[in-house]
Every structure is written in C-alpha cells, then in structure tokens.
Structure 1
Amino acid sequence: MGDTSKHLTSFKVENFKRFESFEMKDLGQFNLIVGDNNVGKTSVLEALLVCPESWIFLNRLHVALDFRNFTGNNPKQGDLEFYSNRNVHISERYTVSFNSTFSDGTEQINALEFEQRIRFITKGFSDQSKTYTFYDQTGINYNLNTPFVPFYNGHDSDLTNFYSKLQNSKTLKRNFIKSLNTIVPDLEEIELSSPFFDSKPYLIVYQKHIETTLPLAMFGDGTIKLFRLLAEIVINRGNRLMIDEIDTGIYFKRFKNFWKVILQTAKDNDVQLFMTTHNEECIRYFKEVIDEDLPEFKKDVRNITLVENAKTKEVTAHTYDFEQFEHAINVGNEVRA
C-alpha cells in the first residue's frame, strides 16, 4: 500500500455556501456522493478544495466557480465571489471553518475570516443567493493545480498541459494509453503537435491500421472525459480529487470499463476520490464493478447520500459501506436520496 496519509476520514465545514454546518464521517478512498438535485453535492466538492494555505484554497475556489461561470466578467482582476444560499448578515467579521481528519490520525482545522470590507450583492440566478466580493491583491493564478473536475469541462488547452507532464515518463505514458484503450481500443499513440513555430501545441492521436492522425478534439466526449480524469488522477497522486457528475459524457454501455479503469488508476496512484452523480445506471455499474471485478476494493468504498430536511433545510450526510450500499440496490431501495 502506498502513501494515503493525506486521505480524509472525516470532514466538517461551517458557514460555507448553503451549509451552516455540514459533516461527513467514515470516509473511504472511493466516495460516491448522491442526493436530490440542488441538495448541495457540488458545494461539498468545492468545500473539499480546502488546504492549509488559505490563499491556495481561495485560488482553487475561484477557479472552481469560474468553471461554472459564477465569478463575474473579469475574474483575472482578482475579484472573488463567494456564495451563500443562506441569509447571512455580516457586521464586522464572517468566519468559514473547516475541520479535517486524515487517515494517519492527524487533524487539521482551517478558518477563513472576512472583515467589514466585504460587500453583499444580489445575484439573479437564485432569489435566495447572496454573494460577497473581496479584492485579492495577488490575483488569481490559473496555473496552480485545482483538484476539481467540473461536469461539463470538455476539450480545452489545459489537456495539453496535463499530457506534457505525463509524457516524460515512458512507463507512465504507456499505462495512460493502455487505460484509454478501454474506451478507444484502436488508440496506439498520443503526441503533442505544433504545426507552426508560433502555434499552440495540440494533441494528436495515432490509431492502429490508420496512417493519418486525428486531433483528440475529434473524438467523443467519453474519450476526452476519460483522458482528463486519468490525467488528473496521475497529477494528484497521493491526494484527493473531486469529480462533479462523473457520468456526464459516458455512454452507458461503457460504464463498466470506465469505472474499472478509473478506480484501478486511483488505487495505483493513492488518490482519494469524491464523485457526484444522479445517474442510476452509473451507480449500478459502480456497484457491479466493485462486486465482480474489484472485490478487494470493497473496504474502501462509501456511498454518501445527502438528505435535506424539508422543514429546516439542513443537509445531512448518511454514509454507507459497500455491504449496506449493495444491499440497498439489491432490494430495490432508492440510494440517491
């Protein structure tokens, strides 16, 4: 077993977005987070971006919100918009706190304090949403690693940056392509290409029995999604990675192979996964792959269901191990809420 000392076993956050207080316990390496729409699944992933250096966390949070077009028209100026679906009244100080327990038994407490210079404005996407903006003198660094994969992030220039970090290792590159073969069996080689001296590099794909190359962008969403996830897993070795709506872009008949390669790659790289989905077939194949192909992973699997109290609107997390999760599916219980 590799180094899993940075893996979380419990996590608590207060005053973050819609959560006045939210806690997850008994976490594993493979955490599948489910729940009704708008219950806060994505917000949980964003909270998990926390790290000891507050400026890195704020940078990560800004990038994650930027993925969702929530950070205004000119985020590179350094404006950060922080969202709260609760009616928070700020007079002089507002504190967001995080409490993390790791697999090696250590505990980490982070608190971010925002003072009176915060100003509230109303956003149109939700009647109950508020946002405050503060100015960060250092600006936002988009080159810093943000271990968060949004549900709709397709082909982009960042994929070339990912691959450039992998191709220096022959073994890493060979294993990476082997994993992609689960979705594209004829894929033989991937290279960075710059047709002109001053042009940006892009990824080209060599296929078996075909002389001409094709840009990666020509392949389907499933191939690009798997490429991105595998690269993110390798880059975040020994840490945690948050994946929003992991099923998006994957054809249901390929779910089984998809799950197998994602989970095995994460295990090989000691990466703790937090993944959201509301797709019933995706959940069923997740269970099937663990049960039939990767039974040694059972002890590391958790199903975390988020439930909102109809009266108080408080969201609680219910954690189930693999046996409980499997039983619920086998008897026909709804595990998504």
Structure 2
Amino acid sequence: MKKHFINHIGIENFKCFQNLTIDGLESVNLIGGKNNVGKTAFLEAVELLVSSNETYDLVVNIYKLLTRRQTNNLSNDILLDFIREDETKVKIYTKNKKLRLAVHRYEIKDIIPTTKLSYAINEDEKSLSIDRLLGQSLQKIDRRIDNINFISSAKAQEQDIAILYGSLVDLDREDFLNDSLRIFDDNIISIKQRATKNNVILKLKLKDRQMPVLLSSLGEGINRYIAVLCAIWASKDGFLLIDEIENGIHYTNYQKLWQIIFQASADANCQLFITSHSKECIEAFNEVQLEQENNRGAYFEFYKNIKTDMITASKRHKEQLKYSLTHQGRVRGE
C-alpha cells in the first residue's frame, strides 16, 4: 500500500451512515450491495476526505457536492442533505485526518435567527452562515486538486473526457490508451484530438473508415471506457472515484476492463473507489483477482443490519467472494 493511500475510513452521520468503519482498503476497491445502502454516498464521503487538505477546501467541496447532486442550483432550492436525519454533526476520518461538520442555530432576542455551519480539518475550525454557503459566493471558486477525479453514473460529457485526455497526453501515455482501446474493440486504431475555435473535439481512427469519426457518434460504452482509462492517469499519485462503472459497457468486456484497471492503477499509483450494481461486473472483478495474485483489490458489500438498522460493510476476500457468487450468497449485483 502506497503511503498516501487510505487503508481505513470512518464515517459518522454523513447522509445514510450512522457509524460506518471500513478497514483493509486496497489499491482498487469495489463497492457492491442492494439499492439504497449508501454506495454513492460512500464515494462522496471519500471524495470530501481526500480533496479537502485545507479547512477552506472543505466548505467549497461541500458546496460543490450539494450543487452536483441537486439539479436546481438556485441558492433558495439547495438543501443541506449531507447530514443524516435528526443529526447535527458529521465526522469523516482516517488515521491522520479528521473532517468535522456541525450545524448550529443561534437565536438572539430581537434578532432574526441564524444558522451556521462549523467546519474543521483536525484542529483548524472555522464557521460561516448557511445563507452564505448556499449563496453564489462559492460558485466560481475552484479549489480542485488535479489528481482527484469523480466519474458519476451518468454519461461523461465529451469536454470533460477531453480534459482528462489532456492529462494523459501530458504524461505521454497516449500509447497506453490506444493499446487499451484495441483490446476493447480491435476496429479502433487510435484516438485523436481536434482543436476548434471554441472547443476540443475527440475523434477515433477506425480500420473500416477512411476518416476519423466523432467520439460522440459512437456508443455509450466506448465513451465510458475512455473516460475511465483517461481518469486513472489524470489521477496519477492520487484518487479516482467511479460510480456504477458498468453503465453502458457490455458485460462481455467487463473482464478486459478490470485487467486494464488493475494494471493502470498500479502503474499510475492511483487508488480507486468504484461502485457496481452488476453481479456480472463483480464476478469479472473477482476472476481477475483470482487469476493475478499481484493485484491489490478488495470487495466490500454494503448492507443494512437487520438488528441495528444501520448500514455496515463486509469485506469479502477472493475465495469468500467466489463462494458467495456461486452459492447464492448475499452478494447482490442484479
């Protein structure tokens, strides 16, 4: 495990989590489980943790989290949905870093009541009014860290892929992507960028076409495949979070995808956190783990504990996962 990687995380009162702790995180971490057990929320908690190095980063990242998940970005319509119902304090932590968030309501005689958010990293604590947090003042502030990326479950915008591809070009890894694309589809020769007056367009050179074709003209699978592979190298020495990795990708390509992900994550020194709803995708992940002993992967199944009604996570080692997948265990991907 690389020094900057996370091998333990604790989450308290963030979204659906009351008290979740996970140990034994690896280079490539796959999160499975039924719907509504917090898989996406877990990615968001990890993102807040790894992308907030200074205290002010935390409040900016909270704002971006709220506006990304809520379709209407008008300040009056943004809700503080990152705190578990009926709670006022959130904590996300590892061994060396602790994020704390708390909502405080102040009522002073003859003064309009105000609500403040206190936010802290380790012992450095600050606060601001909720009105300011939900206003427009944070909208244009860019505190993004270059080697931390989040790929949502939706189809990636071509402009976002072009930015990720630019990072790959800077690292002189175009051959990696072209070789990987040919594994995915042997009709593909290479990917190309074409600059226009206002934008950058991605095209693919194909064996059966004389002229390169627009990436946008091809299917969602190739779009997601390119986005994932570019994002790994764009996250070199950092972190990549991918929600529902299987979206748009045909199940026959899952094993190829995992083989490339394991190799690229090791070469780029990138720690990945990935969710999946697909049993076939989880099976392919485990098959690659079993075939290649040097792969540093871990599978965690999220589920709601019947006795405590709390969401918890169980780490399944390779042989345990294989047994569960073949004997109708609790692993759920459908």
Per the normalisation by structure 2, the TM-score is 0.81
Range moving further from structure 2, 139-148 or 203-212 = 139-148
Identify if the C-alpha distance between structure 1 residues 143 and 166 changes in structure 2 by more than 3 Å, giving closer, same or farther. Answer: farther
Deviation at 1:37, TM superposition (A): 0.6
User: How many angstroms does 1:115 deviate by?
Assistant: 3.4
- The equivalent of 2:287 in structure 1 is 288
Deviation, 1:62, is: 4.2
Q: Is the 8 A contact 1:32 1:277 kept in 2?
A: yes
Aligned match of 1:73: 73
Distance 1:58 1:220, change over 3 A: farther
Instruction: Note the 1:203-222 alignment, pairs <5 A.
Output: 203-208=202-207, 210-222=209-221
Corresponding residue for residue 108 of structure 2 = none
Q: Give the CA deviation at 1:67.
A: 4.2
How far, CA to CA, are the matches of 2:143 and 2:163 in structure 1?
10
Distance 2:171 2:305 in 1: 50
**How far does residue 61 in structure 1 lie from its aligned partner after superposition?**
4.5
| SS of residue matched to 2:42 | helix
Alignment of 1:174 with 2:157, yes or no, is: no
Measure the CA separation in 2 of the matches of 1:332 and 1:249. 26
Of 285, 297, 317, the residue aligned with 1:301 is 297
Please tell me whether residue 240 in structure 1 is matched to residue 239 in structure 2. yes
State yes or no: 1:192 paired with 2:193.
Answer: yes
SS of corresponding position for 1:157: helix
Give the equivalent residue in structure 2 for 1:129.
none
Task: Give the secondary-structure state (helix, strand or coil) at the position aligned to 1:147.
Answer: strand
Residues 183 and 222 of structure 1 are in contact (CA less than 8 Å); yes or no, is this contact kept in structure 2? no
Cα gap change, 1:306/1:65 in structure 2, threshold over 3 Å: closer, same or farther?
A: same
Question: Structure 1 residues 16 and 149 mapped into 2: Cα distance closer, same or farther (>3 Å)?
Answer: same
Change (3 A) 1:232 1:134: farther
Closer/same/farther in 2, CA of residues 203 and 319 from structure 1, 3 Å limit: same
Give the C-alpha shift of residue 326 in structure 1. 2.4
2:26 to 25, 28, 39: 28
Distance in 1 separating the partners of 2:177 and 2:250: 20
Deviation at 1:83, TM superposition (A): 1.0
**8 Å Cα contact 1:163/1:231 also seen in 2:** yes
Which AA in structure 2 matches 1:247?
Answer: E
Listed one character per residue, the Cα deviations across residues 232-278 of structure 1 (whole Å, up to 9, x for unaligned) are 11111122221111111110111111111122111211111111112
Query: 1:119 offset after TM fit, Å?
Result: 8.3
> Are 2:322 and 1:326 aligned?
yes
For 1:25 and 1:273, locate their aligned partners in 2 and report how far apart those are by CA, in whole Å: 15
Do structure 1's residue 251 and structure 2's residue 250 form an aligned pair?
A: yes
* Counterpart AA for 2:151: V
What percent identity do the matched residue pairs reach?
Answer: 24
Decide whether the 8 Å contact of 1:188 with 1:208 is kept in 2.
yes
- Superposed counterparts of 1:45-64, under 5 Å: 45-49=43-47, 50=49, 51-64=52-65
C-alpha separation in 1, matches of 2:19 and 2:224: 33
SS of 1:135's equivalent? Answer: helix
8 Å CA contact 2:192, 2:202 repeated in 1: yes
* Contiguous gaps of at least 5 residues in structure 2: 106-113, 118-128
Deviation at residue 134 of structure 1 after TM alignment: 4.4
Q: Which amino acid aligns with 1:225?
A: R
| 8 Å contact from structure 1 (residues 33, 306) kept in 2 | yes
Question: For residue 99 of structure 1, what is the aligned residue in structure 2?
Answer: 93
Aligned counterpart, 2:85 = 87
What is the Cα deviation at residue 228 of structure 1? 0.7
Between the aligned partners of 1:86 and 1:310, the Cα distance in structure 2 is 19
Number of residue-to-residue matches in the alignment: 306
Given the superposition, is the C-alpha separation of residues 140 and 100 from structure 1 closer, same or farther in structure 2, using an over 3 Å criterion? farther
Point out where structure 1 has 5 or more consecutive residues left out of the alignment.
102-106, 121-131
Provide the C-alpha distance between the structure 2 equivalents of 1:311 and 1:321, rounded to a whole number of angstroms: 24
Q: Secondary structure at the match of 2:175?
A: helix
Match of 1:150? 152
One-letter code of the match for 1:19? F
* CA RMSD, 1 decimal: 2.8
Instruction: Give the deviation of 1:72 after TM superposition.
Output: 2.6
The equivalences for 1:104-123 within 5 A come to 107-116=96-105, 117-118=114-115
What's the offset of the Cα at 1:58? 4.1
SS in 2 for 1:274: strand
